[in-house]
């Protein structure tokens, strides 16, 4: 059977725009987004590819970029100032994967328009349960891309979960720095 290459290419491109392949999320994470930012009326997403110079800058700043981080999906939490008004973004949510003591950890970092962390959540993990508790996570609230993330100085490790604690700090720092580099806050 003969398939016209131009037709095949056109269909492939069309399907890519209709059903884009996302870097991290495989489907729309509505439930998680609403849990992270309950006051948002809606969410929109935007995937942005890191340029080679941005990746070099992140590496210079000590941020390790994995293949799934190269095309991050940003979720913008939005509200309308009036029922007929235009929606405005009140913050950004970024999902980051890191590895802890026991494997993969899926982490969301919510950042306000001021560039500060507003909420951190740990979704999927097999780590010490204390790693997902507010007592640990609140250490990262208010952080910006300019802050340092040094264990036992800027944040305290969870006992018997040092690698997972460091993974959480890396995720927050990575989310802040990627967002800062892309949006130049």
- Which pLDDT tens digit goes with each residue over 144-163? 999 999 999 999 999 999 99
pTM of the model: 0.83
Provide the token pair at 23: 């870097």
> What's the number of CA atoms in the CB half-sphere (13 Å) around residue 18?
6
Longest dimension (CA), the chain: 66
Using DSSP's 3-state secondary structure scheme, residue 104 falls into: strand
Domain chopping of the chain, boundaries: 25-183
pLDDT category at 185 given cuts 50, 70, 90 is low
Cβ neighbours around 61 below 10 Å, total: 13
């Amino acid at each position: 059977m003969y398939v016209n290459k131009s037709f095949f290419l056109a269909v492939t491109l069309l399907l890519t725009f209709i059903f884009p392949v996302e870097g991290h999320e495989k489907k729309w994470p509505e439930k998680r987004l609403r849990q992270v930012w309950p006051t948002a009326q809606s969410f929109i997403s935007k995937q942005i590819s890191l340029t080679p110079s941005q990746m070099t800058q992140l590496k210079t700043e000590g941020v390790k970029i994995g293949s799934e981080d190269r095309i991050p999906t940003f979720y913008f939490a939005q509200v309308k100032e009036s029922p007929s008004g235009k929606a405005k973004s009140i913050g950004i949510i970024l999902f980051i994967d890191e590895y802890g003591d026991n494997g993969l950890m899926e982490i969301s970092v919510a950042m306000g328009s001021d560039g500060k962390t507003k909420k951190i959540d740990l979704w999927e993990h097999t780590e010490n349960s204390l790693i997902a508790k507010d007592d640990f996570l609140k250490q990262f609230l208010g952080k910006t891309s300019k802050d340092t993330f040094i264990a036992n100085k800027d944040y305290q490790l969870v006992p018997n979960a040092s690698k997972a604690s460091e993974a959480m700090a890396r995720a927050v720092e990575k989310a802040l720095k990627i967002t800062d580099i892309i949006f130049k806050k």
